[in-house]
Amino acid sequence: MRLSKLFELEAALLRYERLSEAKLSFCLARNLVLVQRETDAYRKVTEATPAMKEFAQAKEELLEKHAERDDKNKAIRRPVQGVPGSWSYVLRDELAYEKDFEKLRKKHTQAVEDESALLEKRKELLDEDIEVPFRTFKAENLRVDDEGNMAISMRDLSIFLDAGIIVGDLPDEEEEDEDEDTEKVTPLPKTRSRKK
């Protein structure tokens, strides 16, 4: 599985940390531990250098300096569309900001080089195929309530099926209805013959 897909899987697993269905919850929790070993290792080797952190701080201060202000003299920021949790500053004069930013880049050449190398490293690692020995859960054991709902969303179920965490065929509602109409036969217990 590609490392980039493991981040999507990690997010899905985190949504099901506490399920009432004990066996499924345990299976997903164990897989979360396995996935987080890989994602944490990635985060560790792709962490920003001290020079990059200093440059990021200086860039933030420069944006703050060039940002438009509201009534309370706070910098105006707007959410970035399509990127949840990200904000961008509304700049008063973009040309003045660009001029100051070029000076900042020249001052922090090592950070700019580190950032470029790190982006290349991240890209290479995210394309890496990772073998993860997932614990599996049989799809037929997924519980469905009276209204036909499962404890897992269909989107996340698809992610788990693709990863190989949930295996087998999902129970088909039509098959269950047919089984209810047929008479259930209980097999006779096996008997042992005695040797004389």
Do residues 116 and 140 both lie within one domain? no
Number of domains the chain contains: 2
The pLDDT of residue 82 is 78
Residue 47, pLDDT above cutoff 70: yes
Do residues 99 and 62 both lie within one domain? yes
* pLDDT tens digit sequence for 135-179: 999 988 888 777 777 788 889 999 999 999 989 887 665 444 444
The pLDDT of residue 159 is 92
- Local confidence band at 72 (pLDDT 50, 70, 90 cut-offs): very high
Token duo for residue 92:
């008063």
The pLDDT of residue 21 is 85
Q: pTM of the full predicted structure?
A: 0.65
Residues 17-29 have a mean pLDDT of 87
Regarding predicted confidence, which is higher, 190 or 172? Answer: 172
Regarding predicted confidence, which is higher, 95 or 176? Answer: 95
Residue 109 sits in which domain range?
50-126
Report if residue 195 sits inside a domain.
no
Token duo for residue 176:
């269950």
Do residues 103 and 79 both lie within one domain? yes
Report if residue 97 sits inside a domain.
yes
